[in-house]
Amino acid sequence: MPQVEQLAERLHITSLSANEKLRSPELAEEIRRRVAELSAKLPHQEQIRDLSVLWDEFTTDNGLLTPTLKVRRREVEKRFTGVIEEMYSKIAIRRKGGAGKDARRNGRAHKDDGSSVRH
């Protein structure tokens, strides 16, 4: 992952081993910041609400890519079910907390009591 290595160098994360660099909280936070910055330019419905940084490289050897380098979505979903569920759980908690625009989904606004109103 050469781009990640370059980013680690720019953030002055150099005293760690390659594996520790990739898993550093500072690096993950910088990736989140950059994604949020880019996402803010998108229409509301296309904005990324949450993300998790996966340090597993997607390869054909580990079954996450096909021989033509397409993502094996079912395999990714199966392998990272816990991570995916955790992200959706955090989004649901934010919605219940009255997160304004984030409280909308499929034309519904969620009230504090958990019920929803169609717009």
Beta strand spans in the chain (E): 104-105, 108-110, 116-118
Give me Rg for the CA atoms of the chain. Answer: 18
Give residue limits of the domains in the chain. Answer: 2-103
Q: Which of 110, 102, 12 is nearest to 48 (CA)?
A: 102
Q: Is 72 helix (H, G, I), strand (E, B) or coil?
A: coil
Walk along the chain (119 residues) and give the pLDDT tens digit of each residue: 557 778 888 888 877 776 777 778 888 888 889 999 999 999 999 998 888 888 788 999 999 999 999 999 999 999 999 999 999 998 888 888 855 444 444 444 444 444 444 44
Its pTM stands at: 0.58
Contact 102, 94 (CB under 8 A): yes
Distances (CA, A) of 13 to 7, 19, 29, 54, 58: 9, 12, 13, 18, 23
What would the two tokens of residue 70 be? Answer: 């397409």
Contact 30, 11 (CB under 8 A): yes
